[in-house]
Structure 1
């Protein structure tokens, strides 16, 4: 390829001739990949991208035009993939609101829980501690930790209507 050059009157005529000669061929090549409507758009964009190049410097016009078109399709595919990755990680506003409501409700239930049960529940569920670790920390037996945890879960279930 060559460096981009300003199109003069000869360049515009050359681009028009290039378009008339190869646009139907390029459109057929692209239709199989992206469908008729998108193919027409890509053909138009291809000629917009090809406009700055001097026609005399293009040795293989079909390869030149096809390369531009394929680059356009690849760029669009990357944009779509990036957009999908960004939207996959982001929950919808309704889902986010429901999660926030659940979080507030659970916080209220845990705060209203008797301290005897709450300590064991918080250490296990939010602190990631095992029952034996909780028993050592609170200086109680593992059996007592199990009993308090069962009561804490029952308390949450009764308040959350589970």
Structure 2
């Protein structure tokens, strides 16, 4: 991921000190922008990038925040490239993939136990709400929720999600 050099004892102490002093602050600062899980990942990568420079940092908060924001920008650019990449594919390939996905989903839904399948089909393909499904099937909305959760678990297990 990064081209960080091995740290000698002095550099390692500098990174440890930086981490103890500012990791909590940086994590809280990034949580508002990207959420807790992503913030933790960005903070770790920030310290990997900052490690070779830890002895020469004069304004640590500004330095760490700049690295973190650059990492977020890099990730946003990668995401944009990933989103744009399918547009460059051959339309026939994406149509074939889409047809394959539809056939696979159809097989999974047909193999689903009927109690789960009814709720899944009514919600996902007919657009009915849980309350409407409950009235139609004569069950409680909680039962519909439970069956839908099981239907989604079933799909995920069969589609390796």
Alignment TM-score, normalising by the size of structure 2: 0.53
Query: What secondary structure does 1:51 align onto?
Result: helix
CA displacement, residues 43-102 of structure 1 (integer Å, 9 cap, x when unaligned) = 0000011111142x111000000000000000000000011111234347461489xxxx
CA contact (8 A) 1:23 1:43 kept: yes
1:49 is matched with which residue?
49
Cα separation, partners in 2 of 1:87 and 1:11, compared to 1, 3 Å: same
In the TM superposition, what are the counterparts of 1:66-105 in structure 2 within 5 Å?
Answer: 66-90=65-89, 91=91, 93=93, 95-96=95-96
Count of residue correspondences: 95
2:131 is matched with which residue?
none
**Larger Cα Rg: Structure 1 or Structure 2?**
1
CA displacement, residues 8-46 of structure 1 (integer Å, 9 cap, x when unaligned) = 211111110100110000001100111000000000000
Higher relative contact order (CA 8 A, sep 6+): 1
Q: Gapped runs of 5+ residues in structure 1?
A: 99-162
CA contact (8 A) 2:18 2:54 kept: no
1:14 is matched with which residue?
14
| In the alignment, structure 1 residue 26 sits paired with structure 2 residue 41 | no
Q: Gapped runs of 5+ residues in structure 2?
A: 99-161
In the TM superposition, what are the counterparts of 1:143-154 in structure 2 within 5 Å?
Answer: none
Q: In structure 1, what is the Cα distance between the partners aligned to 2:59 and 2:96?
A: 54
Q: In structure 2, what is the Cα distance between the partners aligned to 1:9 and 1:89?
A: 49
